Amino acid sequence: MQLSDRTLGQWLEHWADVTPHKEAIVYSDRNLRFTWEQFNRRVDDMAKGLISIGVERGTHVGIWAANVPDWLTLLYACAKIGAVYITVNTNYKQSELEYLCQNSDMHTLCIVNGEKDSDFVQMTYNMLPELRECERGHLKSERFPYLKNVIYVGQEKHRGMFNTSELLVLGHNIEDAQLLELKSKVTCHDIVNMQYTSGTTGFPKGVMLSHHNIANNGYLTGEHMEVTGDDKLCCCVPLFHCFGIVLATMCTLTHGATQVMVERFDPLVVLASIHKERCTMLYGVPTMFIAELNHPMFDMFDMSSLRTGIMAGSLCPIELMKQVQEKMFMRITSVYGLTETSPGMTQTRIDDSFETRCNTVGSDYEFTDVKVLDPETGEECPVGVQGEMCCKGYNVMSGYYKNPQATAEVIDANGYLHSGDLGVKDENGNYRITGRIKDMIIRGGENIYPREIEEFLYKLEGVKDVQVAGIPSPKYGEAVGAFIILKEDAKLQESDVQDFCRNQIARYKIPRYVFFIDEFPMTGSGKIQKFKLKELGVKLCKEKGIEIV
């Protein structure tokens, strides 16, 4: 087993050459199928289309879409040119979108119609009113000086935007030689993907990941599950997270396996896709597996083709893992890591015992040095002693975009990335995650940083002080709880707080539970004890007869 220096484009061309007629990507619900050869050709055409509108080596291209068919085409097109593909969370609202576009120096933004209650086209016009007046490709925005193009991913036409069909036609004017020249300059250590992750400051930071980071992490993830070119992975997790773009897409790319895509999670489409395509692998966060197992039509589908997969994103309940093994025939594995580590640091192996796969997050990835360090002394903790999960190796990010200070805060002088998570190593070299130094909330696989919501709620008239903490939730792992101290004479209801958040911050960040209290639990030195807020939230729910879901 060794690390590869291939770029994403070289991996794609390898399979287009070696297994040209084998299926690379399938959307079973609409019978859309691409062989490796067909997909590679589409990627080259898209790359030339991007070149025609000014995308070049180092250009930042954003994608704001669910798992639509051309999401992956645009990823690999950018990878071949040497451009950086920036993933935008589909839950983002107006201010979050604008912050990301500004901070990332985005040149081209690719969008779809929208998701749930968000109209991406309208939100883009709100951000760029000049689009309605300008010629396509000639955008001049005072607020977003870098932004030159908006691409609508689909057939529809919108003022000031290209659509993907036009882009492919424009690409015909670009000589193959121009693409070949750009391809020849791409190295495996170039940044290929940037993902925004919130920090304790409440401002998202762009994590810079190279071809070498993500391709190798995907490759090793697949090795731990004994993936081959005969495997078919049902991918229903969003591509804009590392779970989708690395653990799924890079795993199939580096093993020549087939990626069976689900555009947005729907348990029925997942079950039908597994049944129809005879998928051998399935990924998901615990809530996804719960929805599939409890679907009233579950017994109508044949799951016997499944053999393995990944459950990650939040703590995996043992009872759920048992059900997945019994009813879905899968030896499920767990991956632990974070965006900054591309993301895998540790993983259980397919041949680990059921107890190991249930109770731990496995052992180190190869070529990765994972250590549990004492947060006070920086010394390595002995077996069985809790400390901070830290990691050094090929998988550590290049840094946060335009933020060397934040980078230096998480990568120490010895090159170890500090996760902020607490863990313990056992005598067999496996790890258990025991808590978090940073008080991040993980709700159904989404990372939520309390400080970001606290900063937002401070703007609400009548709020004197606010703390946000995770309330244990059987369905989502954790739910957002807001603990508010009101100003004198202020009167607010729980619904006032939630209404204030609606359409201003992503839906998953809106506090599910709002508690009005007189004081926060403090340490002797005056620090707020978030873990006691969690306990208080559970107690207050019981007292008020509120069911925690």
DSSP string of 479-526?
EEEEEEEEPTT----HHHHHHHHTTTS-GGGS-SEEEE-S---B-TTS
Per-10-residue mean pLDDT of the chain, 549 residues long, equals 96 98 98 98 98 98 98 98 97 93 98 94 98 94 96 96 97 97 98 82 84 98 98 97 97 98 97 98 92 95 98 79 95 95 97 94 98 93 95 98 96 95 95 80 85 87 91 92 93 95 94 94 66 91 90
> Could you tell me the pTM of the whole model?
0.86
At 458, list the tokens: 């401070």
State the Cα–Cα distance between residues 546 and 537, nearest whole angstrom. 10
Supply the pLDDT for residue 323.
93
Of the candidates 521, 485, 487, 482, the one whose C-alpha atom is nearest the C-alpha of residue 500 is 482
Supply the pLDDT for residue 527.
60
Which residue in the block uniquely carries the two structure tokens 């809106």? 510
Supply the pLDDT for residue 523.
55
N- to C-terminal Cα distance for the chain?
44
**Ramachandran region of residue 402, left (φ > 0), alpha (ψ -120 to 50) or beta?**
left
| Nearby residues of 166 by Cβ (< 8 Å), 6 or more positions away | none
Supply the pLDDT for residue 204.
86
Of the candidates 294, 306, 314, the one whose C-alpha atom is nearest the C-alpha of residue 241 is 314
Supply the pLDDT for residue 206.
97
Domains of the chain: 7-22+31-186 (3.40.50.980), 441-544 (3.30.300.30)
State the Cα–Cα distance between residues 61 and 96, nearest whole angstrom. 17
| Nearby residues of 538 by Cβ (< 8 Å), 6 or more positions away | 471, 472, 548
Tell me if 140 sits within 8 A of 130, measured CB to CB: yes
Q: How many CB atoms lie within 10 A of CB 493?
A: 10
Please name the helix (run of DSSP H) or strand (run of DSSP E) that holds residue 49, with its range, or none: helix 36-52
